[in-house]
Amino acid sequence: MPTKKYQVRVLFVCTGNICRSPTAEGVFRQMVEKAGLGRRVNIDSAGTIAFHTGECPDQRSQKAARSRGINLSNLRARQINRHDFDDFDFLIALDHSHLKTLEAQVPENCDAELRLLMDCASKSTIEDVPDPYYCSPSGFNDVLNLIESAAAGLLQEIREESSNF
């Protein structure tokens, strides 16, 4: 559970938490660190299902991320839970099905903002980050490209909305 010392708390959500959402977590963490905001932004990821709980990210996701200097090897899959809606300011879905799942689970009086990651990518017409699990290895690089673009937009939005940054 994230501590309250962070000013902004972001949770990325996909299906099994082994491809897209850990990639988004790693990419965003690297961007936040490079911006000097590591102590102000808490970042995590989760899946809508528990099938892969405790597993490392998919090796193909790790390889693609590693090629860009991002290490995902210490991440472990987990399923989203009720407390995440209280513990995070932003629950960022990687596709529409994840967003619908979050919307169906959101408790009353939830202050967290639920949204699609690709809504943060200013120059993209793509709405969903595709699941690369059954694709060729190049699909993991395509996913990384989409996530990098949208994560940069998300960081910019957070900086603009947070007067303390």
Q: What is the CA radius of gyration of the chain?
A: 15
Catalytic residue among 9, 14, 58, 60: 14
Answer yes or no: 56 catalytic.
no
Catalytic residue among 20, 29, 60, 78: 20
Answer yes or no: 110 catalytic.
no
At 81, the amino acid letter reads N
Q: Give the residues across from 9 on adjacent strands.
A: 42
Report the distance separating Cα 153 and Cα 84, nearest Å.
23
Answer yes or no: 14 catalytic.
yes
Q: Are 72 and 22 in contact (CB under 8 A)?
A: yes
Catalytic residue among 40, 119, 128, 131: 131
Q: Give the residues across from 67 on adjacent strands.
A: none
Tell which residue, 83, 127, 73, 97, has the closest CA to residue 15.
97
Catalytic residues: 14, 20, 131
